């Protein structure tokens, strides 16, 4: 699809779900979407990254050829594009037959230490997709997730214990997705026990849930 036609359609603020269907049926639209992200200065580029991310949720194999383009989003100056990059790459791990993720693994998970809580939470909350797709990375990924309680996140320029609690909650939810497949169950259980005193009720409840479901399992290789 011609880029200018696509831009004009997006300016009309259409239902993005219709674009997802179109992009799946006509992959030339994906080419135009990526081009717009690179060249457009208006907020339309955010709609483009969102469409690409949503296509990757349904048909990751269609987006996979653009893997290197999406990697560049990880350090984009705009947070919305960065977050879509994080989510999209986690979706693409399921079809990463060329093992491209391995080359960016360190860079990707280093974002857990990003001072912005939402960035870290997006990495943590979707790490389970990568673990299930690439179980050989599980121990390294789990080790990184276990570091979260010691990381300082900021809100309005100030250190925020509340933000740290939120990311810890994401760790617990992530562990639930792959606990039974992990070789580091004891470390996960210890993490959950450490969150029983969290200042956030939802985090305490998630910790209680993990312990209730898995406290009898303590396999570990960390």
With 0-12 / 13-18 / 19 or more C-beta atoms within 10 angstroms meaning exposed / middle / buried, residue 177 is middle
Q: How many angstroms separate the CA atoms of 33 and 211, rounded?
A: 44
The band of 219, judged by pLDDT with boundaries at 50, 70 and 90, is: low
Q: Compute φ and ψ for 155, nearest 5 degrees.
A: -135, 120
> Does position 172 have pLDDT exceeding 70, yes or no?
yes
CA 98 to chain CA centroid, Å, is: 20
Q: How many angstroms separate the CA atoms of 121 and 144, rounded?
A: 13
Residue with tokens 């603020």: 13
- The per-residue pLDDT for 19 is 85
> Does position 199 have pLDDT exceeding 70, yes or no?
yes
State the chain's mean pLDDT as an integer: 94
Helix/strand/coil for 29 = helix
Calculate mean pLDDT across residues 196-215.
Answer: 96
Calculate mean pLDDT across residues 181-190.
Answer: 95
pTM for the full predicted model? 0.93
- Range with the poorest average pLDDT among 37-41, 88-92, 147-151: 37-41
52 touches 30 (CB < 8 A): yes
How crowded is residue 60: how many other Cβ atoms within 10 Å of its Cβ?
20
Calculate mean pLDDT across residues 52-56.
Answer: 97
In the chain, pLDDT over 70 holds for what percent of residues? 96
> Does position 208 have pLDDT exceeding 60, yes or no?
yes
Q: How many angstroms separate the CA atoms of 204 and 4, rounded?
A: 50
CA 88 to chain CA centroid, Å, is: 7
Q: Left if phi > 0, otherwise alpha if psi is -120 to 50, otherwise beta: which for 157?
A: left
Q: Give the CA angle between residues 112, 201, 91 to the nearest 5°.
A: 35
Q: Which of 81, 58, 60, 59 is nearest to 71 (CA)?
A: 81
- The per-residue pLDDT for 218 is 58
Q: How many angstroms separate the CA atoms of 65 and 19, rounded?
A: 19
> Does position 18 have pLDDT exceeding 90, yes or no?
no
Half-sphere exposure of residue 167: CA atoms within 13 angstroms, side-chain side: 31
Question: Which residue would you say has higher pLDDT here, 221 or 167?
Answer: 167
Q: Which of 161, 155, 171 is nearest to 200 (CA)?
A: 161
> Does position 159 have pLDDT exceeding 70, yes or no?
yes
């Amino acid at each position: 699809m011609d880029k200018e036609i696509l831009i004009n359609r997006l300016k009309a603020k259409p239902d993005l779900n219709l674009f997802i269907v179109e992009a799946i049926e006509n992959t030339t639209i994906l080419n135009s979407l990526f081009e717009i992200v690179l060249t457009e200065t208006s907020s339309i580029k955010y709609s483009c990254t969102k469409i690409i991310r949503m296509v990757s949720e349904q048909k990751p194999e269609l987006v996979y050829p653009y893997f290197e383009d999406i990697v560049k989003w990880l350090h984009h100056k705009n947070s919305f594009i960065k977050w879509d990059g994080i989510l999209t790459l986690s979706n693409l791990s399921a079809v990463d037959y060329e093992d491209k993720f391995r080359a960016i693994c360190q860079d990707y998970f280093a974002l857990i230490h990003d001072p912005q809580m939402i960035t870290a939470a997006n990495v943590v909350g979707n790490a389970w997709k990568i673990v299930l797709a690439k179980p050989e990375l599980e121990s390294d990924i789990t080790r990184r997730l276990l570091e979260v309680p010691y990381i300082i996140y900021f809100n309005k320029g100030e250190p925020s214990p509340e933000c740290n609690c939120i990311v810890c909650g994401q760790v617990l939810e992530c562990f639930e997705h792959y606990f039974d497949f992990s070789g580091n169950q004891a470390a996960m259980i210890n993490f959950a026990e450490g969150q029983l005193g969290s200042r956030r009720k939802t985090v305490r409840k998630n910790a209680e849930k993990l312990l209730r479901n898995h406290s009898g399992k303590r396999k570990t290789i960390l």
